[in-house]
Structure 1
């Protein structure tokens, strides 16, 4: 999967509001709590910033006609977290995937649909079983930590959707927040 990435914060232009969000997330991460609690608190922090027109620059709201686009707003120097804006044009989606670390996502514009899965052991193999379909409207947030974080996300509205994600990893160094991509379950349409 290819994504378009902007420069590390030291070279990227971020808004004062994004800088405030980053400072609040830094304080949450510095507490050294469990991944689950860190994700929960980061989600609560993100909630009050969503939908504010001053959070992202115009460039950070630009999509890509071929795939959803990733704009890295910040990657902490010590690798402890990153803040990313994902821009989705209508119908764009992720593959089914899980993550390298805890993750928080909040819908900043539009609406996103998410299908969540669980891995079901089956002899020497395993298969995915869908567990829940969720529609995430403007302002909604969710946070989770591996394991049990397998999902697919897509833009389910007729316009551009933008979500802000916070990952407990340096996505600039890693190139992505995705740990593993899973094949679509047999019989499930993409």
Structure 2
């Protein structure tokens, strides 16, 4: 899958960052640092893709690296849409292109340990373990984020490893 021209800077930055990454923590930190200055805007998606779906957050696979080392997905979140609490099969880097993404972080016992509002231009990441979270669009406009995962999502289908029933409280 050849990246669209608007993604060429992102895919080149990810490839460069991964050349010297020896573990998942190093990978996501280097990829986040490399993607931050080349983060595109929401116009990388067509107007139709930017609409999202009333049924829940909508993902669009934009690139899968031929060697399976990473993929790039855009996720569209209409106001109020949320994910269940979940964790991941690999590291991930997320850059917000539009809107606000509210993230709640949980420990292994499903106790909420933190939260943040991620704004356009912000790039963050994580690696398992320590990646249990949920994402919610708390804003009044559609939110769009770019996700770089350390695997080929066209082969595995989803970055989520497990979904959890509910949180147990706040620390």
Q: Normalising to structure 1: TM-score of the pair?
A: 0.82
Structure 1 pair 51/24, CA: closer, same or farther in 2 (3 Å)?
closer
Q: CA distance change for structure 1 residues 178 and 53 in 2, over 3 Å: closer, same or farther?
A: closer
Identify the range of structure 1 (38-47 vs 178-187) with the bigger mean alpha-carbon deviation. Answer: 178-187
**In the alignment, structure 1 residue 70 sits paired with structure 2 residue 52:** no
Does residue 151 of structure 2 align to residue 162 of structure 1? no
1:79 aligns with 2:61: no
Structure 1 residue 129: deviation in Å? 0.4
Q: Does 1:130 align with 2:141?
A: no
Question: Per residue, is there more helix in 1 or in 2?
Answer: 2
* Structure having the higher Rg: 1
Question: Offset of 1:42 from its aligned partner?
Answer: 0.9
Distance in 1 (alpha carbons) for counterparts of 2:129 and 2:60: 26
Number of paired residues? 170
Give the drift of 1:15: 3.6
* 2:100 is the alignment partner of 1:118: no
CA RMSD of aligned residues (A): 1.8
- Partner deviation per Cα, 1:27-63 (whole Å, 9 max, x = no partner): 2223242211110111112222335355334344230
User: What TM-score, normalized by structure 2, do the two folds share?
Assistant: 0.91
- Alpha-carbon shift at residue 143 of structure 1 (Å): 1.0
Q: Where does residue 107 of structure 1 map in the other structure? A: 96
Moved over 6 A (4+): none
1:171 aligns with: 153
* CA distance, structure 1, for counterparts of residue 136 and residue 60 of structure 2: 17
8 Å Cα contact 2:96/2:145 also seen in 1: yes
| Structure-2 residue corresponding to 1:45 | 34
Distance in 2 separating the partners of 1:40 and 1:99: 16
Query: Is contact 1:51-1:138 (8 Å) kept?
Result: no
